[in-house]
Structure 1
Amino acid sequence: MMNRLFRKKGGFTLIELMIVVAIIGILAAIAIPNFIRFQAKSKQSEAKTNLKAIFTAQKSYFGEKDKYSTDFTVIGFDPEPANRYSYGLATGCAAPVAATAAGRIGAKTGCIGQDVAKFTTAPAPKDAITALGVQPSVAACPSCSFSANAVGNVDNDPVGDAWGITSAPTGATLNSTCGVDSNLISAGEPGNAYNDVSCE
C-alpha cells in the first residue's frame, strides 16, 4: 500500500522543466536591457543635482558680490567624492582628478574633474563641441550671467554624457546632436546636450 502511494507522486517531466527555463530566459532577455538602461538614467541624476547646486551657489554669491565667479572654491561648490561627472565654469574640464584637497585645486580655475579613484579615464566626447553641452562662461556685468557644464560617462562606453545650465534670462542653446527633445534650455534648468543613455 505504501509503495503505491509513493509511486503516484510524480515529479516534473523534462519537458516541463525545459519550458520553465525557456520562459525564465525570455523574461531575462526582456528585463535585463531595460534594467541596465534604467540604471544608467538614474546615474544622470548626479549631473542634474550638481548643476542645480552650482546654479544656487552662483546665485548666492551674486547676491553678496553682484557678480559671478569662475572659482568653485569661492562660490562654495564641491561635489561629494566619487563624482562620476566633471564640472566646468571654464572650458576643457573633463580630466579625472584625485578626490583630495590637492587634487581639487583645479576648482580655482573653474574645473572640477571626476574622481580618478573610481573613474580613471575621462569620457571621450562625440565631438569637441558636444562635450561642453553649453559653453561654460561668466559674463561681466551689467549683463551678468554664467553657464556651467557637466560631462561624465553613465554606460561604460567611450562617449560621454553632456549637460549644461545657465543663468541667462533668455536661456541657452545646447550643442546637441542626439537623444534630446530640444536644444533650448531655460535659465536655472539643467539641459542634456548629449544623452549617453539613448545615443550610441
Structure 2
Amino acid sequence: MFFSKKNKKGFTLIELMIVVAIIGILAAIAVPNFLKFQSRAKQSEAKNNLSAIFTAEISYFGEYNSFGTKFSDIRWVYEGSTRYEYFLSDSETTGSVSGLSVPNGVAVTSYAFTAGATGNIDNDTSYFDMWTINDKKILTNLTNDVNLD
C-alpha cells in the first residue's frame, strides 16, 4: 500500500513547535505588562479613598471650622477588604493591612490636614506604595510600588 501526500491532513510537528514558540514569545511580552497594568489599577483604591477623606474633611470643616482628627469625627469608614492602610495621624489608622508605616507629613491641625495611605500592592517586601492628600486636594505619590521593583 502506498499513501499519497494529497490525502494527508493535519499539521507537522515542526509547524506545531513554531506555533508554540510564537505563543511563548507573546506571553513573555504580555504578562509583565499585564501585571504592571493590574498594579496601577490597584492604586485607584488609594486615590479614590483619599479623595473621599478629603471630601469628608472639607464637609467637617464647613460645619465645625476646623478639620477632624479622627475618622469617626469626619464619619469616613472604609468598608470591605483593603490593600491600603489609611492614616490621619500616627494614632488614627484604619484598614486591615499590618506592618505598614505612616507616610511622611501625615497630620491634622485646626487649619490644615494631610491624610495618607500605605499599601503593598505587588506583595514584595522591598517597597510600599505611599500616597498623601492635603487640604488643598494635592494628591501625591510619595513612593510608587509599581515602578520601584
Assess same fold via TM > 0.5.
yes
Corresponding letter in the other structure for 2:76? F
Structure 1 contact 122–152 (Cα < 8 Å) conserved = no
- Picking from 80, 84, 99, the partner of 1:122 is 99
Corresponding position of 1:111: 93
- Picking from 104, 117, 120, the partner of 1:153 is 120
Corresponding position of 1:71: 70
Corresponding letter in the other structure for 1:111? T
Cα drift, residue 160 of structure 1: 1.2
Corresponding letter in the other structure for 1:193? L
Q: Any runs of at least 4 consecutive aligned residues in structure 1 with deviations exceeding 3 A, and if so which? A: 3-7
**5+ residue gaps in structure 2?**
none
Written as runs of structure 1 = structure 2, the 5 A alignment for 1:10-159 is 10-91=9-90, 109-112=91-94, 114-115=95-96, 119=97, 121-123=98-100, 132=103, 134-140=104-110, 144-158=111-125, 159=127
SS state of the match for residue 89, structure 2?
coil
Corresponding letter in the other structure for 1:163? W
Cα drift, residue 74 of structure 1: 1.3
Cα drift, residue 5 of structure 1: 8.9
Corresponding position of 1:190: 139
Structure 1 contact 52–189 (Cα < 8 Å) conserved = no
Query: What is the CA RMSD across the aligned residues, in angstroms?
Result: 2.0
Structure 1 contact 155–196 (Cα < 8 Å) conserved = yes
Corresponding letter in the other structure for 1:155? D
Corresponding position of 1:101: none
SS state of the match for residue 130, structure 2?
strand
SS state of the match for residue 44, structure 1?
helix
Cα drift, residue 7 of structure 1: 5.9
TM-score by length of 2: 0.90
Q: Distance in 2 between matches of 1:6 and 1:59?
A: 79
Q: How many residues align?
A: 147
Cα drift, residue 135 of structure 1: 1.2
**5+ residue gaps in structure 1?**
92-108, 126-130, 168-186
SS state of the match for residue 154, structure 1?
coil
TM-score by length of 1: 0.68
Structure 1 contact 155–197 (Cα < 8 Å) conserved = yes
